[in-house]
Amino acid sequence: MQADTIHRTLFENERLVLGEFWCPPESRCWHGLNSVSAVPHVIFPRTPVTIRQLGREPVVCDRNHVLFFNPGQRFFRSLRSRDGDRSYYVELAPELMFNLAHLSSFPFAFGPCDPSVFLLQRLAVRHLKEPSPDPLLVEESVTESVGLAIERARSFHGLRSKGREATRAAHREIVDQTKELLAARFRERLTMGEIAAAIGVSRFHLSRVFRASTGFSLHGYRNQLRLRAALERIADPETRLPALAAELGFSGHSHFTASFREAFGVAPSELRGRVTRARLQEVLERHSASKIVPLSAASGCD
């Protein structure tokens, strides 16, 4: 990590490190080559940012993604948010990575972040703020979320077609522009026609290319941005859920609650305040016993 970035270790043992990272907008790291330390990294973004690992295609990523960095991976980052680049990161011991995925290195740079992965990782972070967090439970939750993220990325990239380079570049440009638009305007009730017109392509082409490149429908991607923004804010006891639902673009409190429950398996009111040992254990066991939620089932709609 470079000197003008900020990172804070939240949890650490011999198998993994869970930390919080911030690269401010004024950092020098936006203008040069960056690198991670000599262990595998799994990154859970909190703000939109473009990452281009050397030798790989750039990707505009946000809360709907997980990023994967091999030991010592060098990369460039491009600013997409006034808040810079914020994320949670997990450093993996090589033996843990092999046990989780039978991989010695990541063959991919990113993957979709399923709702179950997002929820479990964020609740583990919140549980660490409790007066007496359970270290074993935190380790199990983080390990489970990372394992599911790797499995989902492997499945996603196994289904991707190679295509011609020029076609891939054109599709990447469409997808990146769409991600930037949705990241900035996910609270608005934009129609597919309005999104396609802003990007300059047909609705059919946009829908097909976006789903093939991200694993999400347009509606599902926007809905997940809304729900994940909500999950970040409901811990604050001062946040009123009906007002939050309206602010994030839901048609009402009931629509918000139903969408939240469909994505995360619990109502937003159940995740207010503290994340106790019992709550985190419940979520961990539920997701360990079930398959990853299909994106089509968790996509939601207007």
> pLDDT at position 301, please?
38
Q: What is the pLDDT of residues 79-89, one digit of tens each?
A: 999 999 999 99
Cα–Cα distances in angstroms (integers) from residue 71 to residues 28, 45, 92, 105, 150, in the given order: 22, 19, 10, 8, 16
Q: What is the pLDDT of residues 144-161, one digit of tens each?
A: 999 999 999 999 998 655
Q: What is the pLDDT of residues 204-243, one digit of tens each?
A: 899 889 988 998 989 999 999 999 999 999 988 889 999 9
Mean pLDDT over the full length of the chain: 90
pLDDT at 280 over 80: yes
Confidence band for 274, pLDDT divided at 50, 70 and 90: confident
Sheet holding 85-92, edge to edge: 6-12, 16-23, 85-92, 41-45, 65-69, 110-112
> pLDDT at position 282, please?
87
Structural domains of the chain, with CATH = 6-159 (2.60.120.280), 165-288 (1.10.10.60)
CA 59 to mean position of chain CA atoms: 13
- Among 142, 133, 101, 143, smallest CA distance to 278 is for 133
pLDDT at 198 over 90: yes
> Which of residues 207 and 47 earns the better pLDDT score?
47
Q: What is the pLDDT of residues 57-113, one digit of tens each?
A: 999 999 999 999 999 999 999 999 999 999 999 999 999 998 888 888 999 999 999
- Among 207, 213, 153, 183, smallest CA distance to 80 is for 183
pLDDT at 138 over 90: yes
DSSP 130: S
> Which of residues 207 and 298 earns the better pLDDT score?
207
